[in-house]
Amino acid sequence: MEANIQEIRNERLNEKYYKIEHKTGLTVYVFPKEGYKSSYAVYGTDFGSVNTHFMSDGREIISPDGIAHYLEHKLFESEDGDAFAKYAVTGANANAYTSFEKTCYLFSCSSNLEENLRILLGFVQQPYFTDETVKKEQGIIGQEIRMYDDSPDWRVMFNLLGGMYHNHPVKTDIAGTVESIAEITPEKLYECYNSFYTPENMALCVVGDVDVELVLRLVDEIVKPGDGKRVEKIFPPEPKGVASEYVEQVFPGSVTMFQLGFKADGDMRLDERQAAACEVMLFALASNSSPLYEELMNRDLINESFGYEQLEGPGYNGVLFSGESKNPQEAAKTIKKYVADACKNGINKEDFEIAKKAIYAEYASYLNSVSAIGGALIGCDFTGRELFRTIDEAASVKLEDANEMLRLMLDPENTTLSVIKGGTE
């Protein structure tokens, strides 16, 4: 069998895309947007900063913190030149990122799609690491780490994660530390590359005025077949409770800011219904149209920077509320009381209906952006969710679904407050 091609259609949205299980083991998504001038492609691996401990080919491997991010940097270099220089010739806008759970390489372009796809599929499969180039990168990434260490926005988040988690590597900076990256060698990079950069562990998403035949032809030609092996990821035991309820760091010259984290069950992976219900619940609870937001603003406890996000990945799950505040402790106390009351009494039905319409509209609007579609497809692939089903669930989610997610995700007795205290030295 050359490839198993599945057409996934949504009549309500009048959209379709193709999911292809390629003979190499690679999963390929093609989302045609006829008439669009721009195209977008993302090539990702299910390998992020938390994956430093794993079994591969019967061997237990423990890698230095920051190695996934380091590998992302190094893959752009090859014996025949830098990938960014090749993209400069074709006119594409290229980038890459490493998150807790994945690493992705991407580009957007308005022409030369085939050439740009060739570059993307080529350099990601051609690792080139030497002692000299690896050592050179240590200085570059070391500067990046120090820059983030000096960023109050970055520190307030990782201080929070360090307070929420006892053992899970999500509490460790994505780029690692200056000390940990000093341990990275070409051998360790190849070890991780050969374990995680296999077709079975990767996905390719192409969005734009593109046809399946073009993408399949390039994948047939360029992607090397996998051997069917899967990596076993290992995580340390993580207690249910938070490691610390309060973390503070003084940052002279910064505004005072906070993040309040609600720690949920790390083994809980949300399906499409739960993911949509969680988004609706959080919008009803804390969007800028919510009673909580209004109360916090009226009491001068937050400003327009206030926001929230769900943090979900292998072995970790939770919700973060963040913002600038003159009194972060009182802001956190207010949020926790509001959450406790909502858990007891349920979400207001009118707030729920407003949230449901808003989230469905937001989800549907993603389909107007090639980059938003690509990001959503790669995210769905690695979480085991289907894009259209998630959007449909947002339209049909019930109040009891949102209340269920409220009680699963937000335990006011299991929180960490991280504060960056600004001011003068």
Active site residue ranges: 72
φ, ψ of residue 390 to 5 degrees: the values are: -65, -40
115 burial type by CB count under 10 A (0-12 exposed, 13-18 middle, 19+ buried): middle
DSSP H stretches of helix in 76-130 = 83-90, 113-123
Quick check: 319 and 409 in contact, CB under 8 A?
yes
φ, ψ of residue 154 to 5 degrees: the values are: -75, -45
Q: Which residues contact 111 (CB under 8 A, 6 or more apart)?
A: 90, 91
- Rounded to whole angstroms, the Cα distance separating 45 from 26 reads 10
**Alpha carbon separation from 31 to 71, 363, 368, 373 (Å, rounded):** 28, 16, 12, 8
131: which 2 tokens?
């002692």
Q: Which residues contact 330 (CB under 8 A, 6 or more apart)?
A: 299, 301
Long-range contact set of residues 128-134: C-beta below 8 Å, sequence gap at least 24: 128/74, 128/77, 128/78, 128/79, 129/74, 129/186, 129/189, 129/190, 130/186, 131/185, 131/186, 133/74, 133/77, 134/74, 134/184, 134/185, 134/186, 134/189
User: Do the bridges between strand 53-56 and strand 59-62 make them parallel or antiparallel, or are there none, so unpaired?
Assistant: antiparallel
Quick check: 214 and 37 in contact, CB under 8 A?
no
- Rounded to whole angstroms, the Cα distance separating 74 from 116 reads 19
- Residue with token string 């990945």: 313
321: which 2 tokens?
């509320």
- Rounded to whole angstroms, the Cα distance separating 381 from 10 reads 18
From 274, 287, 246, 289, select the one nearest 409 (Cα to Cα). 274
